[in-house]
Structure 1
Amino acid sequence: MGDAAGRIAALLTQALDVPPPLRIRAWDGSEAGPPDAPALVIRDRRALRRVLWRPDEVGLARGWVAGEIDVEGDLYEVMARFTRLGDQVDMTAKAPSALRRLSRLRDRHVRRVVREAVSLSGLGPPPKPPREEARSLRGGVHSMRRDRQAISHHYDVGNAFYGMVLGESMVYSCAYFAAPHAPLAEAQRDKLDLVCRKLGLRAGQRLLDVGCGWGSMALHAARTYGVEVVGVTLSGEQATYARKRVAEAGLADRVDIRLQDYRQVKDGPFDAISSVGMAEHVGSAEYRTYAHELHGLLRPGGRLLNHQISRRPVEGPYEVDPFIAAYVFPDGELSPVGTTVSILEDAGFEVRDVQSIREHYALTLRHWVGNLERNWDRAVRLTSPGRARVWRLYMAASAIAFEQNRIGVNQVLAVRTPASGESGLPLTREDWLFGDTLQK
């Protein structure tokens, strides 16, 4: 038996100035590291060559997607240890990732580290990336054409696959748990109802659901509150599925699902707008357009509920996570909640309420990962081994990020307050959240 694992552990210790927090098992059967720790399994030395040619999260992700890298033990614990390792080596949000440090070592280390890495990985050109990597998108960033391509990459991977991961609710956004162990379907229903109550929906009103997904919000609002709904999505598979659900529910006269960009909606005004888990796709360059478009689509006194993942503020330029950009959400961006609030206000909205539900998203993601793991063989059949591995990694890593307060999620309630200053909101928060007068 060789000692590839010991050499890898030594290489990482030299590069990062701290020993790796995981046990390493290499392709030659060797092991190194704490015996009671979860194991990072490197099945093929080609994974090291990927990282050597691309020393960042994308290089590592390519090995994971290809099945050359795996984890033995608790995946959440592995993610948590990786993030703690980042803290140990003093990686602030603007500093290079742990992997990129390998390419920025002090000169006296470079030759030795590179020579050892090449010896371990074997000589050769960069391996071809796994096919699940986002294809090259065409058109200007956040143009309508390119946004359709980006949305299709993430969402048009099969409704059966999403149904298996999301469960019966078919809601792909943070649920709202009345108790930590509440069933996911119940928590998703409570989230949809929380949005409807914040919007103050009443029978006969018009609701625009931006990024309507598979139609769950539109169906809940129409069925429970008696409103007319226009739902828009850029995903063809979502639109087809949502229309089928609407027809089966007998609500086709009240719910209109469109394959349409929000920038193309011209039949306002609406009494309320829900945007749940969609604004992350808008991008900083288009966010002011987003805010102004939605403001213009509301009648005076109308409400917007913007439900959006946020990041922590950082100094200097913001860098999109390269793994997420390459494999999960191409062109997606996160903004601090303060930036979101400021842009909504600049567009003319009066922001009336901001609620952080960060812990709820961690719980939601753990449900989704559990669904995926319990149905792993079916997930692979419905998509591919690489696609299933991407989803498992990004959802588990995201759960840890929410739990550790590295990212958050917020519901921002804003009103297009008329010149009279009458917002239409009851005097107390309890009244507009729980008052019986808001229920149908």
Structure 2
Amino acid sequence: MPDAALRLKSLLDQLLGAPLPLRIHAWDGSEAGPPGAPTLVVRNRRALRRLLWKPGELGLARAWVAGDVTVRGDLYAVLDLIAGLLWERRDDARTLTEALRDPDVRAAVSGLVRMAGPPLPPAPPREEVRRRGHLHTKRSDRRAISHHYDVGNDFYEIVLGPSMVYSCAYWATPDGTLEDAQRDKLELVSRKLGLTPGQRLLDVGCGWGSMAIHAAREHGVSVVGITLSQEQAAYARKRVADEGLTDRVEIRVQDYRDVTDGPYDAISSIGMAEHVGAERYLDYARDLYALLKPDGRLLNHQIARRPQLDESTYSVDEFIDAYVFPDGELAPIGSTVTQLERAGFEVRDVESLREHYALTLRRWVANLEAQWVRGVRLTSPGRARVWRLYMAACALAFEHNRIGVNQVLAVRTPESGASGIPLRARTWN
């Protein structure tokens, strides 16, 4: 009688020191666990070998990307339960080292080894990044950006929809359309920057050109948009031409460190600063400060993590670093504000859009799931699984306040002290 699921659940219960809150469906067709609970489908023994060789998040991620494990039912419900096991363990929960001192746990691990079969570790899925060289050089940043953004413009059209905006939308109501929410976000940025006809805007990390086009079309500014992605730049240039805005919008494949044609009246940096890195963040802020004219404004839209009691213990998310944003780093909002001010900026407003990003990510997941077959065809099964898992997990992280996203408005205030910010700033006039 098939019993792999029952054996696996019993072993995992012993390892966790508590009943596994998931139902398991194993490769031999057997099932075990709470009836009606979200189900983790373990398709083969190779999944166990991945977990044994890389216990925790990276092993699970490799099994998911390779298709060795999947879920049956609500993906968000499964991820919520797994988060409780991997990322939100109680302070009094025993560590793996402590657990392995328990003879029953050592027996459970031995049982997993026997169930897993051949001891050799499976090769990581081909979608996993192999890190080379130093972090955040111009070369390594180009490589990291290419990994994430050069997946294929057609694939991103499925996920992002017609707006082609790959950052947090700004929702009036949860049941609004993604396109309206993204248009409202671009308009919010434009109003915070105080854009008026004839000004020059630098859009750092311009993506597929949406902010540049909106600012030029709706506010009459001249825009330079820069990206490190060749595919994004080609797509953005075509959109600019189709809108008849080639006289007002220039799209460059260029590193922000190489921009020398300031001063600009305003700079937008939307979802780009996460790629900069903690060691280079002050230089990033100083570079943008130098590119602004006196009283020029910067709108820095950036994901933030929660601060640690001991910042020396912080480590990057293994799954996201290996499969999604290589070399990406998140900082607490307090650190970001401090670095901007150290560079010379006067920070005038900080607005949290955490709940807005959760809504945005859930819409992106729904878009991908609705066109799953086409999405797989445009990329690969593994790449599509990466994006589905990453976006769903991030939606939950925003909902549970594990991460946030903030718009920071900063000004290069002149010596006179005249910032140009209205007295009632939240009107954004």
TM-score, normalised via structure 1 length: 0.94
Instruction: Tell me the equivalent position of 1:18.
Output: 18
Give yes or no for the alignment of 1:323 onto 2:325: no
1:386-425 correspondence to structure 2 within 5 Å: 386-425=382-421
- Mapped to 1, the partners of 2:61 and 2:299 lie a distance apart of 35
> In the superposition, relative to structure 1, how do residues 383 and 416 fare at CA in structure 2: closer, same or farther (>3 Å)?
same
Please, which runs of 5 or more residues in structure 2 have no aligned partner? none
Cα displacement (A) at 1:179: 0.8
The Cα of 1:88 is off from its aligned counterpart by 6.8
User: Using a 3 Å threshold, how does the CA distance of structure 1 residues 288 and 419 change in structure 2: closer, same or farther?
Assistant: same
CA apart distance, 1:107? 2.4
Q: Does 1:380 align with 2:376?
A: yes
SS state of the match for residue 99, structure 2?
A: coil
Distance 1:125 1:269, change over 3 A: same
2:59 is matched with 59
1:224 corresponds in structure 2 to 218
Alignment correspondent of 2:111: 116
**2:269 aligned with 1:281:** no
User: What SS does the corresponding residue of 1:115 show, helix, strand or coil?
Assistant: helix
Using a 3 Å threshold, how does the CA distance of structure 1 residues 276 and 161 change in structure 2: closer, same or farther?
A: same
Shift of the alpha carbon at 1:111? 3.4
Match of 2:365 in 1: 369
CA distance in 2, matches of 1:405, 1:91: 18
* Matching residue's letter, 2:340: L
Q: State the TM-score, normalizing by the size of structure 2.
A: 0.96
Asked whether 1:176 is paired with 2:178, we answer no
> Aligned partners of 2:155, 2:217: CA distance in 1, in Å?
26
Residue 283 of structure 1, CA deviation: 0.8
Partner of 2:47: 47
C-alpha contact (below 8 Å) 2:15/2:109 kept by paired residues:
no
Question: Secondary structure of the residue that 2:407 maps to in structure 1?
Answer: strand
For 1:127 and 1:203, locate their aligned partners in 2 and report how far apart those are by CA, in whole Å: 58
Using the TM superposition, give the Cα deviation of residue 117 of structure 1 relative to its aligned residue in structure 2, in angstroms: 1.2
Partner of 2:340: 344
Q: What is the distance in 1 between the residues matched to 2:57 and 2:354?
A: 24
Q: CA deviation at 1:51?
A: 0.9
Structure 2 residue 188 is matched with structure 1 residue 194:
yes
Secondary structure of residue in 1 paired with 2:313? coil
Match of 1:133 in 2: 128
Residue of 119, 126, 140 corresponding to 1:146: 140
Moved more, 165-174 or 280-289: 280-289
Distance 1:430 1:312 in 2: 25
* Aligned-partner Cα distance in 2 for 1:108–1:75: 33
Q: How many Å separate the matches in 2 of 1:345 and 1:276?
A: 19
Which residue pairs with 1:438 in the alignment? none
8 Å Cα contact 1:55/1:102 also seen in 2: no
Equivalent residue, structure 1, for 2:295? 301
Query: CA shift at 1:168, angstroms?
Result: 0.1
Alignment partner, residue 260 of structure 2: 266
The total of aligned residue pairs comes to 426
Task: State the 1:333 CA deviation.
Answer: 0.6
* Aligned sequence identity (%): 66
SS at match of 2:24: strand
- Separation in 2 of the partners of 1:63 and 1:255? 44
Residues in 2 aligned to 1:122 and 1:430: alpha-carbon distance in whole angstroms: 62
Partner amino acid, structure 2, of 1:165: V
Report the Cα offset of residue 123 of structure 1.
2.2
Task: Tell me which amino acid in the other structure corresponds to 2:303.
Answer: I
Distance 2:23 2:236 in 1: 46
**TM-superposed deviation, 1:62:** 1.0
Alignment partners' CA distance in 2, 1:247 and 1:89: 52
Q: Deviation of residue 124 (structure 1)? A: 2.7
Provide the C-alpha distance between the structure 2 equivalents of 1:108 and 1:90, rounded to a whole number of angstroms. Answer: 19
Q: What RMSD in Å do the two structures reach over aligned CA positions?
A: 1.5
Q: Distance in 2 between matches of 1:137 and 1:422?
A: 46
**1:107 paired to 2:101:** yes
Alpha-carbon distance in structure 1 between the residues aligned to 2:222 and 2:277: 29
Shift of 1:87: 7.0
Q: Deviations over 1:323-370 (max 9, x none)?
A: 001000000010000000000000000000000010000000000000
Cα pair 2:205 2:270 within 8 Å, conserved: yes
**1:174-229, Cα deviation, whole Å (9 max, x unpaired):** 00001111100000000000000000000000000000000000000000000000
Q: Secondary structure at the match of 2:106?
A: helix
SS at match of 2:238: helix
Q: Any idea what the Cα deviations from partners look like across 1:37-78, whole Å, max 9, x if unmatched? A: 110000101000011111131111111111110000100111
Displacement, 1:251?
0.7
Matched to 1:293, the amino acid is: D
Instruction: Structure 1: state its 5+ residue gaps.
Output: 436-440
1:290 aligns with 2:284: yes
CA distance in 2, matches of 1:57, 1:302: 43
Q: Which moved more, 1:321-330 or 1:124-133?
A: 124-133
Q: Please state how far the C-alpha of 1:102 moved relative to its aligned partner.
A: 4.7
CA contact (8 A) 1:137 1:149 kept: no
CA distance in 1, matches of 2:212, 2:13: 52
Distance in 1 separating the partners of 2:132 and 2:216: 37
Go from structure 1 to structure 2 and tell me whether the alpha carbon gap of 1:430 and 1:328 turns closer, same or farther (over 3 Å shift).
closer
